[in-house]
Amino acid sequence: MSSSLITWAALRRTHGLHKLLQKIQVPCGIPTLRHYTPRRAVLYVPGSDERKITKAFGLDADCMVLDCEDGVAANKKKEARETVARVLDKAERPQGCRDLAVRINAVSTGLAEDDIRCLLGASHLPNTMLVPKVEEIKQLDWVRDQVERALGERQHRLELIVCIETALGLLNCHQLLQHASSMTHSRLQLAGLLFGSDDFTASIGARRTPEATEVLMARQQLVVLAKAYGLQAVDMVTIDLKNEELLRRQCAEGAAMGFTGKQVIHPSQIAPTQEAFAPTPAQLDRAQRLVKEFHQHQQQGKGAFVFEGSMIDMPSVRQALNIVEADQAIHGKPSQGK
């Protein structure tokens, strides 16, 4: 179960608890999201392969990323961006997808300008843009300016997921988020952080292992940074496609660490991933009962109390609210492309 941050407006509409939650004072210091789009499984689909894109549209991944970067051969980059733009031109959208995204090439490659111009010139625009290998503030400024230019007069907001994939990117991440969070008048709005483990491992000269201990510190740091700014945090890919046990273990570890979702590269990884990053019925039931009991004690002027044998204080209530909000978002109406 992920520890996604609280969207209070959404919480107040959840499962008949809205009247109760309206009476609960929002604790100071809790970062809030503008809204919460579930991204439990973030599925990459090669932008150069229209057949795979069409097939992927029948899958039930929360977030589908039409990829112009790592999933595309160097000599297929132009074909990929044109194929993705052609797909976006159609009104059709994936049925089970809540977030249709695109991943451009890194700013440092010299390919990103053509990607942005082509993709944002489509008749129907994506919900989200992933920007890979971000390391410096000037790269974010460049992307923002290119997006504004490409959108022209169109009134469309894109959510931005910043991909941290190098040692320098992680080192500068706090400054990157400070800057991106200040871009309040931009149509590119910061929504999440994503950890690219393979590129990161290469950047520090580490060896990739099934236990992933070589990236443990980096993953933990990324979660802390994301949550400090009220953002989603998307975990690394499990590259061993045939090892479902490893996938489930890494999903459970990521969810326990506070990640809100995970990158996937094969349809078989979607269901286990989305299951791992969703509350179980038992967790949801307990969370709803805990919130109600908290409200009763609050009315009586009491602070900490005992619930089912455990001492409950405000951090415990926050965790319960996280569970309620995550369930509401997961079972809410999928977002639509514009």
Q: Which residues are annotated as a binding site for substrate?
A: 103, 165
Element (H, E) at 106: none
Annotation says 285 is catalytic: no
Element (H, E) at 244: helix 244-257
Q: Residue 314: which of 31, 25, 34, 17 has the closest Cα?
A: 25
Measured N-to-C along each axis, helices 137-151 and 112-119 cross at an angle, to the nearest 10 degrees, of 30
Residue type, 88: L
CA count, 13 A, side-chain hemisphere, 63: 30
For 1, the token pair is 């179960």
89, 145, 240, 313: the catalytic one is 313
- Terminal Cα distance for the chain, rounded: 31
Tell me the C-alpha to C-alpha distance, in Å, between residue 166 and each of 87, 113, 197, 211.
31, 22, 9, 20
Question: How many whole angstroms separate alpha carbon 124 and alpha carbon 89?
Answer: 5
Pairing of strands 158-164, 128-131: parallel
Q: Which residues are annotated as a binding site?
A: 103, 165, 199
DSSP state of 191: E
Q: Find how far residue 109's CA is from the centre of its chain.
A: 24
Ramachandran area for residue 301 (φ above 0: left; ψ -120 to 50: alpha; else beta): left
Non-local (6+) Cβ contacts of 89 within 8 A are: 122, 123, 124
Q: Which residues are annotated as a binding site for Mg(2+)?
A: 165, 199
Query: What's the Rg (C-alpha) of the chain?
Result: 20
Question: Which are the catalytic amino acids?
Answer: 313
